């Protein structure tokens, strides 16, 4: 109760502070968002419960009507995510992810630097299709097992956490902010980014990060040695082979369906329907691998969190608060494009450190959309920059779930994460800016 009371007090304080710059409705919306973010952060209530509060509080305070609020909880992007979860549950149930992990861990040399690269890349690859949290929880015991050296153990834990964040941007289903962007684009009739196109855009950035970040983490380890050795002795089972073929079929379907303008128009199928169909295929007897009882493993609280994010974004747009905030930022539109992107990337990256990246990107996208309309800049480009930077926060445990999981292991101290993370944040901002201007702007 204490945390709930404090959350309400802080939210009321923000209402009066905001009232100095915004009207009553806008100030009320800001206060409610602050309330949600604090409750998400201090876990005074379950995430799923807090995520359903907009349905009750937005109509009660005249922000949105009940129909407008609830509609966002059935956004098509949510069903894309559900399809991905079903496939992830099947992958975990038959231990295909462990087989892949162990195979990947044998590719690199059995040295401190080799293991850091191995764990980072493994985490990145798995988190591109599984949730970041699942991947971090899977790999962290391996890192703790490998050595008794505290310094090396901390580096391995950070390698997993950072690898999860790096890889989460590679696919639209890799991390929640990606899906929120796709839902936002759909709401505003912006040309969507196809699954394969997304991977084509984000792959080079993730590759750069996977070269630089593990190298930084491996500096200064000296003569540290591994106490254990990972060996991939498992044989691929028939069920695992069948799932691999199904996943290959999914990839081929997505490839064939993707548009390559002006040369190829694709199949014209909805990617949400494709992914949900393959997810439902996991339940078919003698083809799939899971039963309805396994559906309880779908993180419905995260799905509600998506709904809350879409509802917050809709409230920002419908009440005009996004335009108001954008008006305060109008001076930025006179800056060169490179400086504008640098500022957006920096603001999102460092703000994410102290709040949920899902909540932040839900708030930021409407503001950046309004700013982009005034600045007459490539809208998809700046929305993409903001979304990627929401996942590329490496300083504090609260920034991303993988960071929090790494900290919960006891292997990493806040000071260690902050010292590495600040420097890596700066590198990430610069890399995203360069890739956006040199590469993305020609394909978006």
Write down the pLDDT at residue 108: 76
Q: Assess whether pLDDT exceeds 90 at residue 38.
A: no
Instruction: Pick the more confident residue, 156 or 105.
Output: 156
Write down the pLDDT at residue 225: 62
- Three-state SS annotation for 39-76: HHHHCCCCHHHHHHHHHHHHHHCCCCCHHHHHHHHHCH
- The percent of residues in the chain predicted with pLDDT above 70, rounded, is 93
Instruction: Pick the more confident residue, 401 or 201.
Output: 201
Strand, coil or helix: 260: strand
Of 61-70, 385-394, 410-419, the one with minimum mean pLDDT is 410-419
Instruction: Pick the more confident residue, 253 or 214.
Output: 214
| Residues in CB range of 267: below 8 A, 6 or more apart | 256, 257
Q: Assess whether pLDDT exceeds 70 at residue 121.
A: yes
Angle in degrees, CA 282, 287, 291, rounded to 5 = 45
Q: Assess whether pLDDT exceeds 90 at residue 100.
A: no
Structure confidence at residue 390 as a pLDDT band (50, 70, 90): very high
- Spans of all domains in the chain: 46-442
Write down the pLDDT at residue 394: 93
Write down the pLDDT at residue 355: 66
Q: Assess whether pLDDT exceeds 80 at residue 265.
A: no
Of the spans 212-221, 230-239, 405-414, which averages the highest pLDDT?
212-221
Instruction: Pick the more confident residue, 224 or 387.
Output: 387
Rounded mean pLDDT, 424-430: 95
pLDDT tens digits, residue range 20-30? 989 999 999 99
Write down the pLDDT at residue 230: 54
CA atoms within 13 A on the CB side of 326: 20
Structure confidence at residue 336 as a pLDDT band (50, 70, 90): confident
Of 8-12, 283-287, 313-317, the one with minimum mean pLDDT is 313-317
Q: Assess whether pLDDT exceeds 80 at residue 70.
A: yes
Write down the pLDDT at residue 233: 58
Write down the pLDDT at residue 223: 66
Structure confidence at residue 79 as a pLDDT band (50, 70, 90): confident
Q: What is the pTM of this model?
A: 0.73
Closest of 86, 366, 332, 122 to residue 232, by C-alpha: 122
Rounded mean pLDDT, 385-412: 85
Write down the pLDDT at residue 188: 87
pLDDT tens digits, residue range 141-197? 777 777 778 888 899 999 999 999 999 999 888 888 898 899 899 888 888 888 889
Of 141-145, 250-254, 395-399, the one with minimum mean pLDDT is 141-145
Q: Assess whether pLDDT exceeds 60 at residue 261.
A: no
Q: Assess whether pLDDT exceeds 80 at residue 226.
A: no
Q: Assess whether pLDDT exceeds 90 at residue 206.
A: yes
Q: How many residues does the chain have?
A: 444
Q: Assess whether pLDDT exceeds 70 at residue 224.
A: no
Instruction: Pick the more confident residue, 241 or 224.
Output: 241
With 0-12 CB in 10 A as exposed, 13-18 as middle and 19+ as buried, what is 114? middle
Number of H helices, E strands in the chain: 20, 0
Cite the DSSP H helix spans in 329-356. 337-352
In the block, residue with structure tokens 């809208």: 379
In the block, residue with structure tokens 């985490």: 123
- The percent of residues in the chain predicted with pLDDT above 90, rounded, is 35
d(CA 178, CA 308): 15
**What value does the mean pLDDT of the chain take?**
85
Structure confidence at residue 105 as a pLDDT band (50, 70, 90): low
Rounded mean pLDDT, 344-371: 84
> What is each CA distance from 134 to 111, 178, 232, 265, 426, in whole angstroms?
26, 17, 21, 35, 27
Instruction: Pick the more confident residue, 318 or 376.
Output: 318
């Amino acid at each position: 109760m204490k945390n709930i009371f404090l959350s309400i007090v802080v939210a009321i304080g923000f209402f009066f502070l905001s009232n100095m710059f915004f009207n009553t409705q806008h100030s009320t919306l800001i206060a409610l968002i602050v309330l949600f973010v604090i409750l998400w952060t201090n876990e005074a209530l379950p995430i799923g419960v807090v995520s359903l509060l907009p349905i009750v509080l937005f109509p009660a305070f005249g922000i949105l009507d009940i129909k407008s609020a609830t509609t966002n909880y059935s956004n098509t992007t949510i069903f894309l995510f559900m399809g991905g979860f079903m496939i992830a549950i099947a992958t975990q149930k038959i231990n295909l992810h462990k087989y892949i992990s162990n195979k990947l861990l044998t590719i690199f040399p059995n040295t401190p630097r080799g293991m850091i690269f191995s764990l980072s890349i493994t985490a990145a690859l798995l988190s591109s299709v599984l949730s970041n949290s699942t991947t971090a929880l899977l790999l962290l015991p391996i890192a703790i097992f490998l050595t008794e050296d505290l310094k090396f153990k901390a580096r391995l834990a950070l390698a997993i956490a950072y690898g999860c964040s790096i890889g989460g941007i590679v696919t639209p289903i890799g991390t929640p902010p990606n899906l929120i962007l796709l839902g936002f684009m759909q709401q505003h009739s912006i040309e969507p980014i196809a699954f394969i196109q997304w991977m084509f855009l984000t792959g080079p950035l993730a590759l750069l990060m996977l070269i630089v970040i593990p190298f930084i983490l491996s500096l200064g380890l000296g003569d540290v040695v591994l106490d254990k050795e990972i060996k991939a002795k498992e044989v691929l089972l028939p069920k695992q082979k069948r799932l691999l073929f199904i996943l290959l079929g999914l990839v081929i379907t997505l490839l064939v369906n993707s548009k390559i303008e002006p040369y190829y128009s694709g199949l014209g199928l909805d990617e949400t329907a494709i992914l949900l169909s393959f997810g439902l295929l996991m339940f078919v007897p003698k083809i799939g691998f899971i039963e309805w009882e396994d559906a309880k493993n779908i993180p419905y609280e995260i799905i509600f969190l998506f709904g809350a994010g879409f509802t917050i974004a809709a409230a920002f747009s419908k009440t005009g608060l996004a335009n108001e905030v954008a008006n305060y930022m109008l001076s930025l539109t006179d800056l060169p494009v490179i400086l504008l992107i640098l500022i957006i990337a920096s603001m999102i990256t460092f703000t994410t450190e102290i709040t949920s990246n899902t909540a932040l990107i839900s708030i930021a996208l409407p503001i950046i959309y309004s700013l982009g309309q005034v600045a007459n800049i490539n809208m998809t480009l700046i929305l993409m920059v903001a979304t990627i930077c929401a996942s590329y926060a490496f300083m504090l445990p609260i920034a991303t779930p993988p960071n929090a999981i790494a900290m919960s292991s006891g292997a990493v101290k806040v000071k260690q994460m902050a010292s590495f993370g600040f420097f890596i944040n700066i590198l990430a901002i610069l890399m995203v800016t360069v890739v956006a201007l040199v590469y993305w702007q020609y394909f978006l």
